[in-house]
Copies of this chain bind each other. A is one copy, B any other.
Amino acid sequence: MSGLNEFPLGEFQLIDWIRQRSAPHLQVPVGIGDDAAVLAPTAGEEVIVTTDMLMDGRHFIVGQTPPELIGRKALAVNLSDIAAMGGRPLAAFISWALPRHTGRDLAQSLYAGMAELAKSFDVAIAGGDTNSWDGPLVISVTLVGETVGGRRILRSGARPGDFIFVTGPLGGSLSGRHLTFTPRVREALDLAQRIEVSSMLDLSDGIASDLRQILNQSGVGATLEARSIPIHADVDHTLAESERLHRALTDGEDFELLFTASPAEAKQLLAHPPQGWRPIHVGMIDTQRGCRIRTENGVETLPPGGWEHSID
């Protein structure tokens, strides 16, 4: 295995460098080095697939964001999506367009950040596509996982009367946490083992916006309790309390899970919480469509307030 400073120049050699660092994985009989990878999902389970593309200048800035954290995030956002389906991640596929003159060092640092996170979740880096060009860095990760116990948790299963939970405090992520968050894979598996979760997603655009995905797909409404929304310590403490709440609802990039459960399942969960973390009950699913929030001033409509990237 060559040291970093002797690292050779070609794409084939970079792929070899990565392959030499890939640990074998029981469920990946064929990894890097053939036309495609071969995975062996657990018998009886379905396969879960998600993909995210991150671009320099859009999701991070090369030269400002440490490349290890860029690589880490590219995998972490995908782990978060597999968690949101109640799944177990298995294998990651990494495609990148590397800037021609700095690509080699950049690739090694990106890889280091990804590999460390992959290892901590027992995820194989099983393939990808390595390219160099004159453009900015683009990194696209596809993550393949599997269901656990044959159960997939969708956005469409929320029912009136269900409790709404989140896995942790919200807001202020863009000050740094969005690069270092721990995807809630273990929490999702904890939940799947304990109760029947009726719907789930991961919070990327802020709860005020993301909750609507569940409401729309489930054909229900919701009322959140302002005093129950957990505001992250990263949200500026000098702001007025109403502004801090607004940040928690709309900042985005929280990557906590939001999930719902029937009253019976929810009470079971609250009575016997998982080890090491505590589901936070933030509101209820209603029959009345739309999203509301109860503050000390009464119940009011909660506008999405989430951000959406414009194409034009």
Contact = CB atoms under 8 A, between A and B. Distances in A.
Interface in A1-48: 9-12, 14, 29-30, 33-41, 43-44, 46-48
Interface in A103-158: 103-104, 107, 126-136, 138, 140, 142, 144-145, 147, 152, 154-156
Contact of A39 (B46, B91, B103, B134): B46
A286 B98 CA distance: 39
B46 A43 contact: no
B126 A311 contact: no
Contacts of A41: 41, 47
A298 B36 CA distance: 36
Contacts of A279: none
Given A132-B311, A138-B97, A142-B142, A46 B40 contact: yes
Nearest to A48: B36
A87 interface: yes
A85 interface: yes
Contact of A310 (B9, B40, B43, B135): B9
A214 to B, nearest CB: 10
Given A35-B155, A103-B311, 7 more contacts: A38-B85, A53-B131, A55-B133, A57-B135, A100-B312, A132-B311, A138-B140
Interface of A: 9-12, 14, 29-30, 33-41, 43-44, 46-53, 55-58, 81-82, 84-85, 87, 91, 93, 95-98, 100-101, 103-104, 107, 126-136, 138, 140, 142, 144-145, 147, 152, 154-156, 200-202, 217, 308-312
11 contacts: A10-B308, A11-B311, A35-B84, A35-B201, A36-B49, A37-B50, A38-B85, A53-B131, A55-B97, A98-B311, A135-B138
